[in-house]
């Protein structure tokens, strides 16, 4: 009853539907690269090409089934179409368009497709006997032979490449130099080339072996899906990476432009700072020694502003992982750099206070010496004993600093020393002797003239303080030594006793402690 009804519908369809086979192109259904039949027209939302590929996938699944029997293929009516079934599983649907393109009825076309599939699949299974095994084994051996030849050629190529690289081993040595230092020596270059060539050879051989596996699996019927997966493991990352690079190009161009503008700005500021430091450019109220610290401060601000601009454009900057790492680093820096930040701020304050400069003789706390280095974090002072003392800038801010050099460019530094003389010696004579001692001391200025102050009238003696000017603060230790030597010689020659240090013994006679003998002039 169903068949009669379907036959009536089919006849009606044949009379009302016509297909111009010259204008409609069929899509072939392939099995082992052989065309079984053509598929015409759409079926619901599926195009003819999609229908053909779906039929090929189903046939492939049937071939892999262990209990597959081509005799179980049959045609069954399904509405206005016929379906080719295998144990109630739909293999393909035959439409009126397929039938009219072949000049047959839908039922005849479906039966023809069934016979074609039975014959093709039966032949396919027969080929999977001994001959198929021989054919597969031969194909695998051929692939292995080709791979062996390729690896041999690769080894030979890289061996020649290594010989060529060794001949030009001094090429980069001549190119990359920093003053007289060779950034890339011959030995270092050979090591780099050897490692690069070996790594390249390993990568190429691995790629050949990896691509050989899909070729081997493609000749094995049950390994077709594995072939696609192995190829996909290589093509998918490459495709994804290429698309990501192309999509990132606008952001990369923006980063390059921002960085370039930043570098130009920094170079301009560096040039201006050097001109101010050298005195070629004078700014009212701005000292030349402020120029480079100010440049470093502004450069840091420019770098931070540039980083803020390009940070959203960095790959992965919006991810939760990137944000978590950023927060962790920020917390780590904030907790571990409190003392460093304190020293940096103190260094800036000291710079603009102009408490001392490089080369100045200073006293910082209990340390006396010459400033040899000043950075944002510490100040290094070299003592008169050639000891380098590193002082954190925050310590300098919390203690007093004496600069012995700052005044020497004007009237000079005043060196002073105190002697105690008894009341029996006229103060005018003592004053004259002290001034004479100062004038005979090297590196003591005659103008302004040395002067003497009476600082105290003690029980047994008078304290006289000698003050003398010098322009050589760095040599103050040697000047003091010469000055004290002259005082002793001149006072001894004048038969004047120096009462310091105190004498703690009782005198038995009226003899003094003035040294006997001649005194050198």
* pLDDT tens sequence across 168-218: 666 555 555 545 555 566 677 777 777 788 888 888 888 888 777 777 766
Confidence category of residue 81, pLDDT binned at 50, 70, 90: confident
**Which stretches within 128-185 are classed as H helix?**
130-167, 171-175
The whole-number pLDDT of residue 440 equals 93
Residue 19 buriedness (CB in 10 A; 0-12 / 13-18 / 19+): middle
The whole-number pLDDT of residue 482 equals 93
**446-475 burial: b if 16+ Cβ within 10 Å, else e:** eeeebbbeeeeeeeebbbbebbbbbbbbbb
Confidence category of residue 2, pLDDT binned at 50, 70, 90: very low
Question: Contact at 8 Å (CB) between 463 and 456?
Answer: yes
Comma-separated ranges of CATH 3.30.70.100 domains in the chain: 413-493
**60-90 burial: b if 16+ Cβ within 10 Å, else e:** eebbeeeeeebeebbbebeeebbbbbbeeee
Mean pLDDT is highest, among 266-270, 287-291, 315-319, 340-344, for 266-270
My answer on whether omega of the bond before 501 falls inside 30° of 0, hence cis, is yes
Question: Contact at 8 Å (CB) between 514 and 495?
Answer: yes
Comma-separated ranges of CATH 2.30.30.60 domains in the chain: 354-403
pLDDT digit string (tens) for 143-154?
A: 888 889 988 988
Averaged pLDDT, 98-104: 86
% residues pLDDT > 90 (the chain):
12
For residue 213, what are its two tokens? 């596996």
Averaged pLDDT, 486-512: 73
- Closest to 107 in 3D by CA, of 19, 7, 20: 7
In the predicted structure, residue 356 carries a pLDDT above the cut 60: yes
In CATH, the number for domain 354-403 is: 2.30.30.60
CATH for 413-493, options being 3.40.50.2300, 3.30.1360.70, 3.30.70.100, 1.10.10.10: 3.30.70.100
Q: What CA–CA distance (Å, rounded) separates 121 from 68?
A: 10
Using CA atoms, how far residue 87 sits from 69, 72, 352, in Å, is 10, 6, 94
In the predicted structure, residue 361 carries a pLDDT above the cut 60: yes
Q: What is the pTM of this model?
A: 0.44
Confidence category of residue 468, pLDDT binned at 50, 70, 90: very high
Averaged pLDDT, 86-94: 85
The whole-number pLDDT of residue 509 equals 58
Provide the mean pLDDT of the chain. Answer: 78
Averaged pLDDT, 316-343: 69
The whole-number pLDDT of residue 505 equals 46
The whole-number pLDDT of residue 241 equals 81
The whole-number pLDDT of residue 487 equals 93
Confidence category of residue 467, pLDDT binned at 50, 70, 90: very high
Q: How many residues does the chain have?
A: 521
Question: Contact at 8 Å (CB) between 98 and 35?
Answer: no
Using CA atoms, how far residue 108 sits from 17, 29, 48, 114, 429, in Å, is 17, 18, 20, 10, 147
The whole-number pLDDT of residue 3 equals 34
- Closest to 398 in 3D by CA, of 346, 361, 356: 346
Residue 257 buriedness (CB in 10 A; 0-12 / 13-18 / 19+): exposed
User: Taking CA 342 as the corner, what is the angle to CA 339 and CA 347, rounded to the nearest 5 degrees?
Assistant: 125
Averaged pLDDT, 58-72: 76
Using CA atoms, how far residue 64 sits from 19, 50, 67, 72, 229, in Å, is 36, 22, 9, 15, 17
DSSP letter for 456, please: E
Confidence category of residue 431, pLDDT binned at 50, 70, 90: very high
Q: How many beta carbons lie within 10 A of that of residue 483, not counting itself?
A: 26
pLDDT digit string (tens) for 370-380?
A: 888 887 788 89
Q: How many beta carbons lie within 10 A of that of residue 297, not counting itself?
A: 15
Mean pLDDT is highest, among 121-135, 316-330, 398-412, 455-469, for 455-469
In the predicted structure, residue 51 carries a pLDDT above the cut 60: yes
The whole-number pLDDT of residue 130 equals 59
pLDDT digit string (tens) for 233-288?
A: 777 777 888 888 888 888 889 999 999 999 999 998 888 888 888 878 877 777 77
pLDDT digit string (tens) for 7-44?
A: 333 333 333 334 444 445 788 888 777 788 888 888 88
């Amino acid at each position: 009853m169903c068949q009669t009804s379907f036959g009536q519908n089919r006849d009606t369809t044949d009379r009302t539907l016509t297909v111009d086979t010259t204008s409609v192109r069929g899509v072939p259904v392939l099995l082992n690269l052989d065309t079984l039949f053509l598929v015409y027209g759409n079926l619901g939302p599926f195009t003819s090409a999609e229908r053909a590929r779906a039929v090929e996938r189903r046939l492939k699944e049937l071939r892999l089934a262990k209990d597959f029997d081509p005799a179980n293929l049959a045609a069954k009516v399904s509405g206005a179409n016929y379906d080719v079934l295998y144990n109630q599983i739909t293999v393909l649907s035959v439409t009126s368009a397929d039938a009219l393109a072949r000049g047959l009825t839908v039922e005849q076309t479906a039966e023809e497709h069934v016979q074609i599939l039975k014959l093709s699949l039966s032949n396919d299974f027969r080929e999977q006997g001994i001959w198929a095994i021989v054919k597969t084994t031969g194909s695998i051996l051929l692939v292995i032979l080709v791979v062996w030849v390729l690896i041999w050629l690769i080894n030979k190529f890289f061996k020649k490449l290594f010989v060529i690289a060794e001949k030009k081993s001094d090429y980069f040595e001549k190119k990359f130099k920093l003053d007289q230092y060779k950034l890339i020596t011959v030995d270092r270059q050979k090591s780099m080339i050897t490692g690069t060539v070996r790594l390249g050879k390993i990568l190429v051989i691995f790629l050949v072996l990896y691509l050989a596996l899909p070729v081997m699996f493609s000749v094995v019927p049950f390994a077709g899906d594995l072939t696609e997966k192995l190829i996909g493991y290589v093509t998918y990352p490459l495709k994804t990476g290429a698309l990501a690079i192309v999509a990132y190009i606008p952001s990369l161009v923006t980063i390059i432009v921002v960085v370039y503008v930043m570098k130009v700005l920094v170079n301009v500021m560096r040039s201006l700072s050097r001109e101010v430091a050298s005195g070629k450019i004078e700014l009212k109220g701005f000292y030349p020694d402020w120029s480079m610290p100010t440049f470093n401060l502004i450069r840091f601000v420019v770098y931070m502003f540039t980083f803020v601009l390009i940070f959203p454009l960095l790959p992965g900057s919006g991810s939760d992982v990137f944000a978590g790492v950023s927060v962790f680093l920020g917390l780590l820096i904030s907790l571990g750099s409190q003392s460093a930040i304190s020293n940096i701020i103190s260094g800036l304050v000291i710079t603009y206070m102009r408490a001392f400069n490089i080369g100045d003789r200073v006293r910082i706390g209990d340390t006396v010496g010459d400033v040899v280095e000043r950075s944002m974090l510490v100040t290094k002072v070299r003592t008169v004993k050639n000891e380098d003392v590193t002082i954190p800038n925050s310590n300098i801010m919390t203690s007093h600093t004496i600069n012995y050099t700052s005044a020497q460019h004007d009237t000079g530094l005043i060196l002073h020393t105190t002697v105690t003389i008894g009341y029996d010696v006229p103060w005018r004579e003592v004053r004259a002797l002290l001034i004479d001692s100062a004038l005979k001391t090297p590196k003591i200025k005659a103008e302004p003239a040395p002067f003497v102050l009476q600082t105290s009238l003690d029980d047994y003696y008078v304290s006289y303080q000698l003050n003398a000017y010098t322009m050589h603060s760095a040599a103050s230790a040697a000047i003091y030594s010469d000055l004290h030597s002259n005082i002793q010689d001149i006072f001894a020659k004048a038969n004047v006793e120096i009462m310091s240090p105190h004498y703690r013994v009782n005198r038995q006679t009226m003899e003094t402690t003035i040294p006997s003998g001649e005194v050198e002039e």
